[in-house]
Structure 1
């Protein structure tokens, strides 16, 4: 009755097997699992030798230290990944007369984390002639659980849609490229927008601070002097007596409507002697921009820096992730 149920279950699973990667656990019936064939040893085939064969968990389970204790004649070996290379594990099982080897991953992984790994050979690989496959920790635990609960566990190992590491790598590379493009684009847009906002805020604050500093300069009624300094150096018009003029710290005088736009938009220095006319404490220009005369230059540099910043941040983040 059990054999009949297993046969019916396998018939129901047949359409799936045609399009999947198959390692079939036939007893207890029935489970289909993915596997990745090793690059060494013989290829997995549809030979009758690998149909409904008992699988044994070897001792020691990693098959690294000392020979395998069991006689695996006509059986498949279940071995845990870790402590030594794959070729040595398979060679140990072959010396114990195993006909095939199933190596299970030693680490549980989430559904989004790839487990696929193609086992690479070393110097021992030339001695190996049996096939071997790599399976996920979940698949290995299912096989191991069935072994420990009693009764033989039978496996059928075939080439039905055998999953290759190259196929998985192709998808991983494609997913990585898509993730890189999306993350780079989003981060660049967000950081560029943030830098643009901060630059505009800084520009506005500096401009208003210069305006406030210019308005704090004293206004005085013009008094004729003995010398000929009766012209505004900016508009070249003669000062009228008692006209309100703005006096800079260097004692040069200008029409208020002439000097205010100059100080706010062009330079914080006197147009005549180039002496600093505004209170430095009221300005927000950083000390490393002190060599620039114009108000716009520091913020042009800030804007250029903000254009480069997103690229640097994205490069660092992508380097950490990948």
Structure 2
């Protein structure tokens, strides 16, 4: 799913780049500035021939019909004689029996330093192309709309032949190398962004797979005694593969599997919140630890909590002095312990064995400090 999302974002990124570049390069416009009137006319540079230099070109604009004996405006043939001024730009009209590049070649041969081609119909700016080889074209050429062409013709008649204009280059004329670098780096940034999102998501998933320390610390603890081990009960920790020693504290998970406290605590808080043996989630609600509150019919809260949590944790066990403070309360407490799941007093070992589930004899038992009844 994440791969599909990354692929879709990359596709959208490339599509946006292509659309942006096409619209940008199609809308790249240069300009012609008439220095006498300070008027500016938008033009578009031809696809053939050299580009206008960054500093621009200062040339005298001359309409080609004023130099042609036949008064033709299309410049489909060379001029019989060009102007004496060597720095001039020819103003010609689109159309006739020649192509754009032929017009530029004819004006180049007539001595012009640049060519301005005006449209012969009411339309927008176009880019002038040539099919054949144009390596012989040595002067720049631009295209203007019909309205601007008519205005420049009128200025030529009003101001006289040869008024000074400035040809300015494209404002966004990017080198090809810059465009290629942009095209390459833009998807790279998208990939880096997707990698960052993936790392954040992976970290969130890893944290979700860990058990909260407060949940782990509330799991019951059992004190191990080898003499009290039942049949088929493990004698070693499956995490560190070391045998249990007497009086070692073992953490008991809700699935009744036991481990060294340090081993399982580190496992649950840094690896997975699942039991290493049965893969049971220790944070999932169970029948003995429901999501809702405890039933009001359960025994006294303190001893009920001891039964539910295992009864061996020092946080949940009652001291001997508290239990021996009153004969009646001790008797009642013993009855409540027996009601939680059964209790057997063993005076020799000094423990009361509290069985969590009397229906399953194979399940381990948890021990809590014994107390003496008067």
TM-score by length of 2: 0.35
Greater relative CO, 1 or 2 (CA 8 Å, sep 6+): 1
TM-score by length of 1: 0.39
Structure with greater helix percent: 1
